[in-house]
Amino acid sequence: MFGTQNRSQERVNRLAQGDARRVKVRESDPLERVTADARRPRRQQGSFFRRVIWPSLERMATPGSAFVKNVNFDEVRFRLMRAGFPYGMTAQSFVVLKNILMPASLAVVFVAWLPILNEIFGLQFSWLTAPIFAAVGAFYGYKFPDLWLNMVTRRRQTEIQLVLPDMIDLVTVSVEAGLSLYGAIQRISTRFQNPLSEEFLRALQEVRLGRSNIDAMRDMARRVDVDDLSTLISAIVQADMLGLAIANVLRVQSERLREKRTQRAREAAQKAPIKMVFPLVFFIFPALFIVILGPAFLTFLSTGGF
């Protein structure tokens, strides 16, 4: 009797162990995990605006739509590429942003600015003033993304211009140590996080995808649009075509870039006194006059000067 009970208990234990092994195998199977995840109810990711409203606006801005008939998406994409695609923005999203800000600026003008101007200057709402303010608000709302994109592009170009001499020095040292030019660029670009390293890595990625080195470098110079980088790329391309020693060319170019950076710093230092004139005249000198001449003026008034 006890033997029969023991055998039954062992059989139950074996069955339980077999079920546990099967469950473990099923959990380790990628296909089984994907199927199980598909059966579970998924939660919607992101806000309602991101999931519903923004895709609808992007569909309105697709090429060929009635809202963007006169928009050159290639030009918009090139401008965004020159700015480094800020915030992951695409050409469609940039056009959508412009079309959203135009009515938003109209609302700001009519809701906020017209009452303020009425209180300060006594301007009354009329059929003459309203269209003027509406046109000005719509114009600046539509052009504000362009101004912002130009500002981001100039800031990125300035950053590239500042880090270019240091990176070329490191590339020169790496080439003189025995690396190839593009191997040195790959090694140095992966060590730093800046716009220039991103552009170099993109050019190298294009080379790995089948483009020639010369075409990738020229395209990078055209995309970045910085004079120092364009001159450097031209020198590298000529040295590659003529079979010159690339280390000597890089050494000469790095010295030239450092000298130009020093000249720009001196030029900025010489412009500083001229730029300080306006804050001095409009902000600092009036405060000094009040502090210095104020007591004398009050004393003059107390003695009955006028």
Chain segment 184-221, per-residue pLDDT in tens: 999 998 888 889 999 999 999 999 988 888 899 898 98
Q: What is the pLDDT of residues 249-290, one digit of tens each?
A: 999 988 999 999 889 889 888 888 888 888 888 888 888 888
Q: What is the pLDDT of residues 93-127, one digit of tens each?
A: 788 788 777 777 776 666 666 666 565 555 555 55
pLDDT at residue 33 in the model: 45
- Check if the beta carbon of residue 26 is closer than 8 Å to that of residue 32: yes
Whether the pTM exceeds 0.85: the reply is: no
- Specify the 3-state DSSP secondary structure of 180: coil
- If you average pLDDT over every residue of the chain, what do you get? 76
The mean pLDDT of 149-156, rounded to a whole number, is 92
- Check if the beta carbon of residue 213 is closer than 8 Å to that of residue 284: no
Token pair for 246: 């690339």
pLDDT at residue 117 in the model: 58
Q: How far apart are CA 185 and CA 236, in angstroms?
A: 12
Q: What is the pLDDT of residues 39-56, one digit of tens each?
A: 444 445 556 656 666 666
Tell me, what DSSP letter sits at residue 123?
P
Q: How far apart are CA 87 and CA 85, in angstroms?
A: 6
Q: Residue 265's closest CA among 133, 115, 161?
A: 161
Q: How far apart are CA 83 and CA 151, in angstroms?
A: 9
